[in-house]
Structure 1
């Protein structure tokens, strides 16, 4: 894969999920993964009334065009009360209004982390069942629990060797 798009579903400028995402990106050849900021795509909360009145926001159309050119996707999704973030869900809601199959039958790698032991894995189980609905081919899932003790924020890498090996395996399964 030459053109992989990576993003997080977080609005936190100091997101631990983005830090984990960068650690994963660093395992790919330089230039093969494009990190995009979904927060750059400012859109209203989806509503049928807004869509009827204003159409699909320009930012979503631009994001959809990026998706059509991608060979695959890496998503680092924070867990909010056992679910994906409302921010990420809103982006998905808008994208699906253009095409329910917005991942375009391309591979998807799901990731999550948290300070807790489960690393946000609860919502990844939900997302893994939804990815095919949106046209994604789920290739791998990786969850890092105990972020504060297993991640080196200065080097943007996993400090726990066994966890780093699991991330390598998830990356290989995705590729």
Structure 2
């Protein structure tokens, strides 16, 4: 048989009482000011997240094109054609009206979108465009590497020019 425990009955322990545990503190704000501040912070966080996501979505073509450029080998004979194809795809993505561009118009459009640093207005760029149609006019690997580097800089720094309804930029 189990014996039932009884509290001590000595006079020393007779006046002892259990310690009362205080109520737990709520983490929910008790005043309206803190609730409004939490709402403002939450709205700012949602807005910042939306802007960051929209920026990433609008610029994902840049990272895809940079990945394609990094895969180019300046030693290959087909590098000029592949570089043109990558930049042409980017221009068509930005504006479908750029699909018809070729030669000087293509180079001018690249420089137009990056007016601070025009990189495609020299003899190497013109020779690159000529090599696309004339197989006898080939670029050397150093020129291919230079054009790839310029294209990478252009992809990172170009800005879109948005036309207003009057047609002005």
TM-score by length of 1: 0.25
More helix by share: 2
Question: Greater RCO between the two (CA within 8 Å, min separation 6)?
Answer: 1
More strand by share: 1
